[in-house]
Homo-oligomer: A and B are copies of this chain.
Amino acid sequence: MAHPGAMPIHRATVKREWLDYNSHMNDANYLMVCGFALDLFMEHVGLGEAARKEHGMSLYTLQAHLSYMRELREGDAIRVETRVLDFDDKRVVLYYEIFRDKDAADAGPVAACETMNLHVDTRGPKSALFLAPTLSQIDALAQDAKRLPPAKYAGRPIAIPRKTTSAV
């Protein structure tokens, strides 16, 4: 298990097969890329492949909310930064930001994703409490995240902004 502290960053290059007919990265593949970052998070908090095979524990996604700000093209070098927004004894709220390496430092993320994840004993499947070492790692990450700028795209419902009441 890694030492507590900053999360490792997932890096990738956008592949041709991740595009759709608009020639930009397909909606679903943003979530796939965040899934790769989730794998890193799981390794970091002691829920990696070895632990999963030994104890049968895993993280299941209950909700995922993606916000798409800019397009990604084939060959774009990207990185996914992951933080812990909230947690309790069996759930953790993660927040991913996808950045494009060639963008200006103040350009902000090309996309963000907030997820609610549940710790699960896959032999049920049923929800299960985090083990103490995992909970300690998650707590360290949550404390570390407090030094970061606000999670701008987290916690918001989907709604068309209007000055007056909807006519629909």
* A interface with B by C-beta (< 8 Å): 20-22, 26-29, 31-32, 35, 49, 52, 58, 60-68, 71, 86-88, 91, 93, 114-116, 122, 125, 142, 154-160, 162, 166, 168
Q: Which residue of B lies closest to A23 (CB)?
A: B122
Q: Report the separation of the CA atoms of residues A159 and B132 in the bound assembly, to the nearest whole angstrom.
A: 23
A27-B116 in contact (CB<8A): no
A68-B58 in contact (CB<8A): no
B29-A63 in contact (CB<8A): no
Given A52-B21, A86-B166, CB of A157 within 8 Å of CB of B157: yes
Q: Which residue of B lies closest to A166 (CB)?
A: B86
| Chain A facing B: main interface SS | mixed
Q: Which residue of B lies closest to A92 (CB)?
A: B160
Q: Report the separation of the CA atoms of residues A63 and B68 in the bound assembly, to the nearest whole angstrom.
A: 6
Given A125-B71, A168-B142, CB of A93 within 8 Å of CB of B31: no
A22-B160 in contact (CB<8A): no
Determine which of B28, B49, B66, B160 lies in contact with A86 in the assembled complex, contact meaning CB atoms within 8 Å.
B160
Determine which of B52, B86, B156 lies in contact with A168 in the assembled complex, contact meaning CB atoms within 8 Å.
B86
B residues near A26, Cβ cutoff 8 Å: 32, 35
| 19 CB < 8 A contacts A-B | A21-B58, A26-B32, A26-B35, A27-B31, A27-B61, A28-B28, A61-B68, A62-B67, A63-B65, A63-B67, A63-B68, A64-B66, A86-B160, A88-B160, A91-B160, A93-B158, A93-B159, A116-B158, A116-B160
